[in-house]
Amino acid sequence: MAGAAAVGSPPALAARLAEAVRHGICRVAGGVCTAREARAAGLSPCLVRARLDRERLGARVLVVRVGRSDALVVERRSDGSASVSFADGESAGAGFAVGLRLPAGPQVGIRGGGGLQFTTGRSWEFPDFAAAARFVRRWAPRESLGGEALGALRHICPFCHGRRPPAMPEPDASYVEGGAYGELTAALSGVGPRGAGVGADEEGEVSAVAGRRLARGGRVTWYDRLDAEAAGRLGAVLGAVESRSAGQAALEVTTVHGHPVELRLRAAARMHGDLDLSGPAGVLGDLSARLRQAPVTGPGGSGRRLEAEVSLDLTDPRNRRALAGVVDVLRFRVPPSDWGARLRALGARLEAAGAVDLRLLRVGLTERDLGAEAALGLGVGGSYRRTQESRDLLRAWSLRAGGGLQEREDCAVA
């Protein structure tokens, strides 16, 4: 009907008719069709678009490696609001390398290492994306690696002080995190006999990070990383996502003025093609089974990502007791023989009372790596890497305890 109406119709009229047809299909299918319906159901706005721009600067002398990184994250939600975050990271550790790496030319060798990393960040909330964009244009240049270097030079140069730059507005939230990391890279590249590039490379990185986020109103969120095995034991939905080659998961506990209010578990996995979750799903077990068995349709490609969040109300004493058992595991307060039972107890509460949000996103990634390094066990070198990542929402679903799976038709850019 919408296609027929679009023939010979003004674009605005055709768009309104198409939107009306989509809304009617959503109502018949029992989805969440408007922002008003989402608020009435207690559903938060969806993250529909995110952009990450990260710079990393590293140096190596003998076996000592140090690094500095800056990151900018801009997020846009389905209700039109947006947020901007700046992060500053430091790392120090030891590494090894065998081979040769130049900015342009052949690369051969193996590099690896490990150490400690520490990151601080701040975020600001905005009622619309236009206000967030103006904030980024004003402050992002000063928060980049180059901008921070110029700021440091202004402080140490006796002739460069001039007028003091204005202070940034107070952030709506701040966070600090730290932990250990490890990385390994193997590369072999060069030029073939006919001038074609040949080679192969493998890269891996693991980390164990814990952190704390402070927001206004006495809201504090503590978070920790979980390995894929532990996430898989905390409920069927996380286990189903983990079965699709998920990486680490995150566990978050939020308190307000010291009182726990919410537990949230997050996991993500790479996807190929589309994800079809049509049909009724009344409990988490049904949803997890369909996640494992869902056919992969549509065009192939690795640029898609499935994200799952399972949340639990911690104002319920039963949920708090189950969480306390897992916290004791993370703090090594109980013998290993009890770990499985405590994880299963929390998983049972997530199955009985948890709320699930699923998102399928299209992901784009570009990287630029500059640097030089020569080593035979011990080495000297430096590097600069810039990573730009985009995530755009394709589809979203929500499942609340006592209800059925609903597609989030309201999750469109406002």
Looking at residue 124, its pLDDT comes to 94
Looking at residue 6, its pLDDT comes to 47
The arithmetic mean of pLDDT across residues 344-349, rounded, is 87
Looking at residue 25, its pLDDT comes to 59
Looking at residue 245, its pLDDT comes to 55
Looking at residue 125, its pLDDT comes to 95
Strand partners, 101: 373
Confidence band for 331, pLDDT divided at 50, 70 and 90:
confident
Q: At how many degrees (to 10) do helices 317-330 and 339-353 cross?
A: 150
> Higher-confidence residue: 91 or 140?
140
Between the ranges 88-102, 161-175, 338-352, where is the mean pLDDT highest?
338-352
Helix boundaries (H) for 275-338: 284-293, 317-330
Looking at residue 346, its pLDDT comes to 87
Q: Provide the 3-class DSSP secondary structure of residue 152.
A: helix
Residue with tokens 């680490």, as numbered in its chain: 248
> Higher-confidence residue: 235 or 222?
222
- When mean pLDDT is compared across 16-25, 138-147, 315-324, 335-344, the lowest value belongs to 16-25
The residue type at 39 = R
Whether residue 397 has pLDDT greater than 80: yes
| Residues 309, 47: Cα–Cα separation, whole Å | 12
**Tokens of residue 42, six digits:** 């207690």
Whether residue 5 has pLDDT greater than 50: no
Residue with tokens 């308190």, as numbered in its chain: 255
Strand partners, 77: 47
pTM summary value: 0.75
Whether residue 173 has pLDDT greater than 70: yes
Of the candidates 314, 390, 410, the one whose C-alpha atom is nearest the C-alpha of residue 44 is 410
The arithmetic mean of pLDDT across residues 136-158, rounded, is 75
How distant, in Å, are the alpha carbons of 101, 184, 185, 202, 377 from that of 112?
A: 14, 4, 6, 12, 10
Confidence band for 335, pLDDT divided at 50, 70 and 90:
confident
> Higher-confidence residue: 311 or 95?
311
Task: Give the model confidence (pLDDT) of 263-298 as tens digits.
Answer: 998 887 776 666 666 655 555 556 666 666 655 544
> Higher-confidence residue: 381 or 214?
214
The arithmetic mean of pLDDT across residues 309-314, rounded, is 90
Whether residue 56 has pLDDT greater than 70: yes
DSSP states of 96-140 as a string? EEEEEE-SSS-EEEEEEEEEEEEEEEEEEEESSHHHHHHHHHHHH
What is the maximum span of the chain, computed from C-alpha positions, in angstroms? 73
Looking at residue 9, its pLDDT comes to 47
Looking at residue 184, its pLDDT comes to 59
Percentage of the chain exceeding pLDDT 70: 58
Whether residue 198 has pLDDT greater than 50: no
- When mean pLDDT is compared across 37-41, 238-242, 328-332, the lowest value belongs to 238-242
Which residues are within 8 A (CB) of 341 and not within 5 positions of it... i.e. 6 or more apart?
none
| Residues 83, 47: Cα–Cα separation, whole Å | 10
> Higher-confidence residue: 228 or 324?
324
Average per-residue pLDDT in the chain? 74
> Higher-confidence residue: 411 or 74?
74
Segments making up each domain of the chain, as ranges: 45-205+368-389, 216-353
Looking at residue 20, its pLDDT comes to 60
Task: Give the model confidence (pLDDT) of 178-194 as tens digits.
Answer: 877 666 565 555 444 44
